[in-house]
Structure 1
Amino acid sequence: MPNKSVLIIDLAQDDESLLVEQVARACSTAGFFQVLNHGISDELVEEFRHQCRRYFTEMPQQMKEAHRRTATNARGYFDDELTKQRLDWKQALDVGVPGSRDWTLPDNDPKNSCLDGFNRLPTEEELSGYRDTIVRYFQACEALSDKITRIMAAGIDKKVANEVVQDLKENHTSYLRMNYYPVYNPEVEEETRKEEKSSKNEPPPLGISPHKDAGYLTVLLQDDDCHSLQVWLDDAWQTVVPVKGAFTINTGDMAQIWSNGLYKAPLHRVLTNNVKERFSAPFFYNPGYNSYMKPVVNASPKYHPCLWGYFRAVRFAGDFTDLGVEIQIEDYETNAENANDEVEQPVSEKSHDAHPNIRRQKIFAEKACMEEPFDVDGFRALLT
């Protein structure tokens, strides 16, 4: 059913206090809202949509395979992502901020190395105009994310949160994902199951299975005429119907930690469609790899500090190896009535009471280099 609880917020309204109140209310209830007058031009959005469609519908599969992501490079093309150990019905291309933060350098320049690896964008010869459009759209999403983050911070404690907001702006490790959801074909899907020896009794796949976004916030561009995004709200799956010209925003796990649980990372999913193909583009605004996300409010913290580089690496590794239960921010919850001194340290000293991921995080911080591509196989023993 369409959802009426997802607020539509005008970012250009004159009443700043009302704007802050609306965003804070949306983040603490549905975790989803839509924004108008966001500052990204219709012309850029349409140009970006056009280039996304060209990549998935015009480029030969052989060329896309050359851009495929690997267990040592998280960025690139893929059609085999697992969400909660279930194959998604989609193709996608991930593009992230370069390690050098300089888009003029070649993608494979050593200065661009980072934990997520290197970008694998099509060359000008492969797809003319693509790179220029993607970079301009990426930078526009950066600016919008910073603006929304500052509004979110004002809804908690502007003075305390300012340091975190500035760190996000200067050191964020965000990435843009371009999704293509083909028309769902049960016959093709059945053949895939046979090849993988999967159970025939499984329900049809979802475009993306139920999940919460790991980062701080997501700026999502939806198709106007294909409504497949649903959020779990009021004990039911409710459709987030996109408003023309708006972006859909949702809070992520790191915002929930940062706000000490005041802001909620919502559970959501994407349905398949057996009539119409669908395109979407989420921009994941993520902290710096070396950043420890921790509650900023002046209250007993509900979470241990979470090292974003570790959390991100473990989530990515789950697409290449069976880690059992997926890492969640619940693993970082504190049970102590007063854990304020723990929050001042990168890792809790009371590790005997902590979740294994907190102990693994400490080892990861000592061994991993955040300026080098993460190697799933190299850290398999630690992660499993």
Structure 2
Amino acid sequence: MEKPSSNTDEAFPAFSNFSNLNCIDISSPDIQKSVSLLKQACLDSGFFYVVNHGISQEFMDEVFAQSKRFFDLPMSEKMKLLRNEKHRGYTPVLDELLDPDTQVNGDYKEGYYLGVEVPEDDPEAQKPFYGPNVWPFADLIPGWRQTMEKYHQEAMEVGKAVARIIALALDLDGDFFDKKEMLGQPIATLRLLHYEGRVSDPVKGIYGAGAHSDFGLITLLATDDVLGLQICQDKDANPQIWEYVAPLKGAFIVNLGDMLERWSNCIFRSTLHRVLGNGQERYSIAYFLDPSHECLVECLPSCKSEKNPPKFPPVKSGAYLSQRFKDTHTDLRSYQKH
């Protein structure tokens, strides 16, 4: 892949190598080729591109434009929409701390969480991550809610299509993850992200987003053309080697989460990644597709043997995600003090 032009190399000469990721064409009739490419990507790095996914570039541009309109609002307006205990709404800069061992402060990014819309009077709304979304007033950003709801639905279909290829790559039935208790009633979270123009400095512990692996099943990431995302293919290496993932217009960057690593008994890997700021503003849109609250994540039959017994105890999806969010986000009570 041609190396994109960016001033990032000058900012970080020690981190100027690029990762070479496989590209999966979702629309390809050659399903075996897609399975083979995806399987290799999941064994190697846990990251790959997905193209021809069915979401038009025109609509993607609109989603990014609407995201920018929100983040351009005055802070006083954004704080009225501060995230709630269901993880819906606005997250200010430094709200999230993903790598406490290396970061001096939290992440230098702001975000906005949107999930599956469940009315408040629905019994399902009692579960973590379910409930009504927090929406900006319609007259503040016209069409914003309609755009985000449409994107949430379309991204979910792409995610489910990717999950079917992952199932085949794990020697499972293609519809394995489609079951009601898995992606039939998913915890699906859309997160708009804006990285301010602060320059990251790993030596001083300043990051756009600290090093972490994602919590759930898979993440679909759409980015603008500003470089920033890095992956570390071997988290146990010393020193760790970080590679940039080049933005690819019209593609999703897809990565596996920790739940899939548990399911696959570490055969497929959730990979450490982080974001370095280089002085430019950067926008991205992450879509986290995770199984339903009651889904029991335990070692798949095709991923264990006498020589490779299960490495993790079974865990309920909702409880696991709740704990991971609690570990990485600022306690909401601290905002009330201010």
Say yes or no: TM over 0.5. Answer: yes
Counterpart check, 1:16 vs 2:3: no
TM-score, normalization by structure 2: 0.82
Distance 1:162 1:7, change over 3 A: same
Paired AA for residue 264 in structure 1: R
Q: Is the 8 A contact 2:183 2:292 kept in 1?
A: no
Alignment-derived partner of residue 287 in structure 2: 283
State the Cα distance separating 1:302 from its structure 2 match: 2.3
Alignment-derived partner of residue 330 in structure 2: 320
Pick the structure with greater CA Rg: 1
Aligned partner (choices 240, 248, 256) of residue 243 of structure 1: 248
State the Cα distance separating 1:260 from its structure 2 match: 1.9
Alignment-derived partner of residue 133 in structure 1: 147
Aligned partner (choices 67, 70, 76) of residue 89 of structure 2: 76
TM-score, normalization by structure 1: 0.73
SS in 1 for 2:204: coil
Paired AA for residue 15 in structure 1: D
The count of residues paired between Structure 1 and Structure 2 equals 298
Q: Is the 8 A contact 1:222 1:279 kept in 2?
A: yes
Q: Any residues of structure 2 matched to 1:24-103 within 5 Å, and which?
A: 24-57=39-72, 59-70=73-84, 72-79=85-92, 80-85=95-100, 86=103, 87-99=106-118
Please give the per-residue CA displacement for 1:169-208, whole angstroms capped at 9, x wherever unaligned: 311111011000011179xx9xxxxxxxxxxx97151010
Alignment-derived partner of residue 259 in structure 1: 264
Q: Is the 8 A contact 2:22 2:41 kept in 1?
A: yes
The sequence identity of aligned pairs, in percent, is: 30
Runs of 4+ off more than 3 Å: 161-165
Unaligned runs of 5+ in 2: 1-15, 235-239
Alignment-derived partner of residue 10 in structure 2: none
Please give the per-residue CA displacement for 1:136-185, whole angstroms capped at 9, x wherever unaligned: 111111000000000000011223x7443323331111101100001117
Paired AA for residue 111 in structure 2: A
Please give the per-residue CA displacement for 1:263-295, whole angstroms capped at 9, x wherever unaligned: 100000000122x10000110001111111112
Q: Is the 8 A contact 1:294 1:305 kept in 2?
A: yes
Please give the per-residue CA displacement for 1:281-327, whole angstroms capped at 9, x wherever unaligned: 11000111111111213423222112111111112222235xxxxxx
Distance 2:176 2:218 in 1: 17
Alignment-derived partner of residue 272 in structure 1: 277
Q: How well do the aligned residues superpose, as a CA RMSD in angstroms?
A: 2.3
Q: Any residues of structure 2 matched to 1:347-358 within 5 Å, and which?
A: none
Alignment-derived partner of residue 237 in structure 2: none
Paired AA for residue 248 in structure 1: I
Unaligned runs of 5+ in 1: 101-108, 190-200, 322-374, 378-384
Distance 1:316 1:158 in 2: 30
Please give the per-residue CA displacement for 1:81-119, whole angstroms capped at 9, x wherever unaligned: 11123400011000011235xxxxxxxx33372312542
Distance 2:251 2:23 in 1: 8
State the Cα distance separating 1:376 from its structure 2 match: 9.3
Alignment-derived partner of residue 294 in structure 1: 298
Distance 1:12 1:246, change over 3 A: same
Higher mean C-alpha deviation, range 126-135 or range 306-315: 306-315
Q: Any residues of structure 2 matched to 1:112-261 within 5 Å, and which?
A: 113=125, 114-116=127-129, 117-159=131-173, 162-167=175-180, 168-184=182-198, 203-224=204-225, 226-233=226-233, 235-261=240-266
Distance 1:301 1:253 in 2: 15
Distance 1:60 1:132 in 2: 22
Distance 1:39 1:185 in 2: 35
Distance 1:162 1:8, change over 3 A: closer
SS in 2 for 1:236: coil
SS in 1 for 2:40: helix
State the Cα distance separating 1:14 from its structure 2 match: 2.8
Paired AA for residue 305 in structure 1: P
